[in-house]
Chains A and B, each alone.
Chain A
Amino acid sequence: MTYQYIYQNISHFCGKDDISTKALIEIIKISLSESLIELQGYSMGNNRVEVSNLAHKLKTTFIMLGDAELVKKNNILNNCAFENMNETQINILYEDYVKSIFNLTVILDS
C-alpha cells in the first residue's frame, strides 16, 4: 500500500479532481487518527459493540482506499463474525486491525 495507490483510488471517487482528492484524503486522515485513538482505548474482551460500531463507520473509508485485506478484517469485526475463531485468534485479528489502521495513517502522512 502506497500513498500513490491510495491517491488513485480516492481520485476515482472525486471525479479525478486533484484538489477534491487531497481534501478528502485530509478528512480520511483525521477520521482514521480519531478512530485509532478510540480503538486503542478498547479491548475485544470488553468493547465488542463499540468496535463493531466503529468498524461499521470505517467500512466506506476502507473500500474507498482500496485496501481489500482491511475491508475483510473490518467486515468480520463489524458483523462480529467470529464463528470459527477462538479468543486468541479474535484478539490477534483486533491487534492486526489496529496496526493496519496505524500503518495507513503513517502512509497518508507521508
Chain B
Amino acid sequence: MLSKNKVMNCIIVDDDIVSIKHLEIMISKNPYLNYLGHFISGKDVINALDDLVVDLIFLDVEMPEMSGFEVLQHLKDKPSIIFISSKKEYAADAFSSIASDYLVKPIQPDRFTNAIKLLADKKKISDDESTIHDSFFVKDKNRLVQIFVNDIIYIEAISDYVQVFTENKKYLFLASLKNLEKRLPHINFKRVHRSFIVNKYKIIEVDENVISVKDKNIPISRSNKAEFMNWINVI
C-alpha cells in the first residue's frame, strides 16, 4: 500500500448523478484515493482546476456541450485520466490519448479496484525512478546555471514556464510544475496550490489559507489545506 502522502487527489466529471454516486461509493472505500468533489460539465472542471491540485480525473466521455476528449485537450497540466463511459467503442480513442484506463459503466467494483491499484503502482514506480538531487541546472540565456534546492524559497507556474525564487535571484525557464515537483525532496517541498510549490524551511508564517515567505504571500488550495497542516507539523 502507498504511504499517506502518496494518496491521489481525485475528482469526477460526469453529468449523470447515478454514475457520480456509484463512483463516490467506490472511491470512499479505496485507500489510494482522496476525493475532492465532482463536476457535471467540462467547462466547470476547466475553470475549477485553477484552484485544485488534482492527481486523477474520472472523466466521462459523452457529456453535453463538451466531450471528455475535448476537456482533456483544454487541460494544461494534465493529471492521470481514467475515462468512463457506458459505451465500449471509445476505448481505442481513450487508450491512444494519455488515458491510464477506460472503465465501462456500470463499473464493476473489482475492475475499479484493479484500475486504481495499477495506477498507484505505476505512480510509485515513476516516483521512485525520479532521481532527487541536491541541485539542478537550468538554461539562463546561453548559460546553464546551477540552482541548489536548499536555496529555493518557492516556485511559481506561469503558463508553460516556471519561475524559481531563491534568496538572491529568480529564474524563469520552460518546465512543468509537476515534473519539477518530482525532482524535489518531498520532505522540504510541497505543492500547496495548482501554481505554487513551497519550501517548508523558508516559511515564515501561515495565516488561514496564506503562507508567508520572503516578500511573498502564497495561497493554499482548500483541497490541500489538511495535508499541508499535517506536513508542516503543527503542535
Contacts and interface: CB of A to CB of B under 8 A. Distances in A.
Interface residues of A, number: 20
A28 interface: yes
Contact of B86 (A17, A31, A53, A60): A60
A108 to B, nearest CB: 12
Contacts of B22: 13-14, 24, 64
Interface string A46-72: 000000010011011101100000000
Interface in B35-66: 62, 64
Contacts of B21: 23-24, 27
Interface in B1-48: 15-19, 21-22, 25-26, 28-29
A61 B18 contact: yes
Tell me the interface secondary structure of chain A in the complex: helix
Contacts of B17: 27, 30-31
Given A59-B86, A60-B86, A60-B105, 13 more contacts: A14-B22, A15-B29, A17-B29, A23-B21, A27-B21, A30-B17, A53-B64, A57-B16, A60-B16, A60-B18, A63-B105, A63-B106, A64-B18
Interface of B: 15-19, 21-22, 25-26, 28-29, 62, 64, 86, 105-109
